[in-house]
Structure 1
Amino acid sequence: MPAYVVLFRESEVRDPEEMEKYRSKGSDPTKFGLKPLVVYGAMTPLEGAAPDGVIVLEFPDVAAAKAWYYSPEYQDAVQHRLKAADYRGVIVEGF
């Protein structure tokens, strides 16, 4: 069953240098079956205030999503994203 990592950027990027470090540390997306579906696309708010940005990544299953997020490669990179801006994130199962 597919799983989706949904990341909400809750603030503007306050440290572009940290965000660039994050981007430069990208890992091979095919390693975990990651498929980007949404990366900061245009938004139409429906309920409540819209976040500053949204990312939706598809994985084959929850185990693959967790393996990607908790991998040493991604944990090395994510610290820079979290210094650059405020984020919330979830893994949600599809059907």
Structure 2
Amino acid sequence: MKEVKWHGSSRSDVDAFPKNARREAGYQLFQVQIGEEPSDWKPMTSVGPGVREIRIRQASGAYRIIYVATIGDAVHVLHAFQKKTQATAKRDIDLAKARLKQIR
């Protein structure tokens, strides 16, 4: 099973999600740790190769976790946030890019 490595404020950002979204985030990250696919994800090529976004939809809103699992034997969580608009905000993409650059 791969270790989860949290970058920047990503751990505290997930901890700030509402309880149900936090529980779902933990389950989806566990799926990635054991080599399975999350139930709802998309590639985030705008951040970098191999980067993916876990999509969590709850009554309280939409939540996202941007991660990469292709560097070493770990799941690197680059960024986590509540999505407010249809498109991912440029600042969220830029933050994930900057954190990816630090580990490559």
Tell me whether the two structures share a fold, i.e. TM-score over 0.5: no
Normalising by structure 2, we get a TM-score of 0.28
Normalising by structure 1, we get a TM-score of 0.30
Q: Comparing both structures, which one devotes a greater share of its residues to strand?
A: 2
Asked which structure has the greater CA Rg, the reply is: 1
